[in-house]
Structure 1
Amino acid sequence: MKRLHTSGRHRPRGLEILHEDRDLFVVNKAPGVLTTGTRRDEAFTAENVLNQYVRKGCARSRKQVYLVHRLDRETSGVLLFAKTEEAQQRLKENWKATEKLYLAIVRGRLPQRQGLFSSYLAENEDLYVHSVDDPAAGKLSQTAYAVIAETPAVSAIKIRLLTGRKNQIRVHFAEAGHAVAGDPKYGAGDPFRERLCLHAKSIAFDHPYSGRRLFFDTPIPEAFARLARGLTEAAWADTVVEVP
């Protein structure tokens, strides 16, 4: 598989390209960058930045990228885009084989070092996601986790999503009494203001054409390591998230 190299002139702002081939991009998104546009904010998004990158400054170019999955605006980390609709469709059809691992710093110490949150999530008129008792009123959402390191104030958590709902990690930990550090939406009164401490650290997936298993990992954000003593790359690697 031939890997293409990023041109310095057209390097995408707010994104680090981890991998580019003829069919897809894997990027490391900075916090504060939308994945795709909304009615209120359509300009500075990962999707649009990559569109400009593939067009190489040519206003008449119709080249574009195709969204495969999303990250919340304030969540950083690994994000996957396809270069064609066919590649996008192939990746989505095989999405269950994709493994995404997240790193979060949450408030307090969890009672168990391994666990699984499972609930039905719904979104209200104020765009606030929450668990509901009625399965018909929400979507099944499951979050498996393992504690990597902890201090009296915070815990560093390795997370594997078994489903991919909007705000899922943030809601599950907040409802358990351990909101993600720096979360202004679900962690009211959190004194940490630097950033939301949620990072999509790695992804493993099958290439849409070759079938080759690809794996991409990103560094632990500096802010996370400052908050949680004992959070290292070695500790991350040694921590296994058990899925019931």
Structure 2
Amino acid sequence: MNRKSKLPKDTNQDKDKVTEWIVQEPTELMTELLNKLAKHGRNSVKSILARGQVSVEGKVSTKYNYPLQQGHRVTVHFGRVIEDIKFEGLKIIHEDQDIIVIHKEAGLLSIASPTEKELTAYRQLTEHVRRIDPKNRIFVVHRLDRDTSGLMLYAKNEETQQKLQNSWQESVLERSYVALVEGAVKKQAGTIKSWLKESKTLLMYSSHHPGDGQEAITHYKVLESNREYSLLEVQLETGRKNQIRVHMKDIGHPIVGDKKYGSRKNIIGRLGLHARVLAFQHPTTGETMRFETQIPGKLMRPFTSQ
């Protein structure tokens, strides 16, 4: 016998409004929510579920296919959001329906490698978006080396990924890094240009013969310096693999901790490279987006401990 479904009732009218009702027949949680909260729209309902604003019998659930039984009490707290996934090594700076901007810590891979398939930014963000819909995916737009910290951009659909990658040079308005390098850089500002190639041992290196490899252009200026170290602001005109690391080696000032490219010192216990600023034109709205992070304290250590 089909029972007439009881309408949800509002038990509070303030900003932490609570709506609850009793389930009348077995169904899945998302189906029930879409039925009872139809006026909010499908995407809003998905977000409400993903943010932990839904309880069944007093316990928070974020599973779209949670099996509801007749008699279950469903409660929606519109003003409450539980803590999201406990990310390791990353923090979401901005998210909308097309993109996610994160701050990645040094030591976390952007995507999986042959030796690390679980703990990556890609894997964690995939889990994050699938809290709303298990079919959701994350798409790689660009990468940061494992030991480089800072800002990264991911796409939430393939169309956005293609737009960004196809117009990367035009869409990206600013990519600014800070680099702690060995030695005192005498020239206060400069530009490094070469053509990057990769050796059989996967080491990137510069050729100064036009067209012999991928053109790479790096601009820098000195922010701080002493006899042993310099802190540089680095602007990328091109974004090649290991570009900054190779170019710092080329001018005789390898990045601190970068043994692969000639560093002999590591007083900070990490690679001295941080992606500080990322500005770009939003691929869907056309809006200019700009994000900036603080310089990591470790990169300032050689200049603050004196």
Q: Contact between 1:141 and 1:164, CA under 8 Å: does it hold in 2?
A: yes
Distance 1:180 1:100 in 2: 18
Matched, 1:96 2:169: yes
Tell me: CA distance 1:131–1:211, structure 2 relative to 1, closer, same or farther (3 Å). same
- Superposition deviation, residue 164 in structure 1: 0.7
> 78, 90, 115: which is aligned to 1:40?
115
Structure 2 residue runs without a partner (length 5+): 1-43, 52-80
* Percentage of pairs with the same residue: 37
Number of aligned residues: 226
Distance 1:183 1:222 in 2: 18
Cα root mean square deviation, aligned: 2.1
Tell me: CA distance 1:40–1:205, structure 2 relative to 1, closer, same or farther (3 Å). same
- Superposition deviation, residue 222 in structure 1: 1.0
Structure 2 matches for 1:1-244, cutoff 5 A? 8-56=83-131, 61-97=134-170, 98=172, 99-192=174-267, 194-229=269-304
Tell me: CA distance 1:57–1:181, structure 2 relative to 1, closer, same or farther (3 Å). same
- Superposition deviation, residue 143 in structure 1: 0.4
Tell me which of the two structures has the higher relative contact order, counting C-alpha pairs closer than 8 angstroms and 6 or more residues apart: 1
Larger radius of gyration: 2
Distance 1:219 1:177 in 2: 27
Q: Contact between 1:150 and 1:156, CA under 8 Å: does it hold in 2?
A: yes
- Superposition deviation, residue 64 in structure 1: 1.2
Q: Contact between 1:10 and 1:56, CA under 8 Å: does it hold in 2?
A: no
State the secondary structure of the residue aligned to 1:228.
Answer: helix
State the secondary structure of the residue aligned to 1:89.
Answer: helix
Tell me: CA distance 1:53–1:183, structure 2 relative to 1, closer, same or farther (3 Å). same
State the secondary structure of the residue aligned to 1:165.
Answer: coil
State the secondary structure of the residue aligned to 2:125.
Answer: helix
- Superposition deviation, residue 12 in structure 1: 2.4
Tell me: CA distance 1:161–1:7, structure 2 relative to 1, closer, same or farther (3 Å). farther
Structure 1 residue runs without a partner (length 5+): 231-244
Tell me: CA distance 1:7–1:56, structure 2 relative to 1, closer, same or farther (3 Å). farther
Distance 1:85 1:7 in 2: 29
State the secondary structure of the residue aligned to 2:191.
Answer: strand
> Structure 2 length as normaliser, TM-score?
0.69
Letter in 2 for 1:24: I
Distance 2:289 2:283 in 1: 10
Tell me: CA distance 1:31–1:207, structure 2 relative to 1, closer, same or farther (3 Å). same
Distance 2:275 2:244 in 1: 11
> Structure 1 length as normaliser, TM-score?
0.86
Letter in 2 for 1:91: L
State the secondary structure of the residue aligned to 2:87.
Answer: coil
Distance 1:16 1:118 in 2: 33
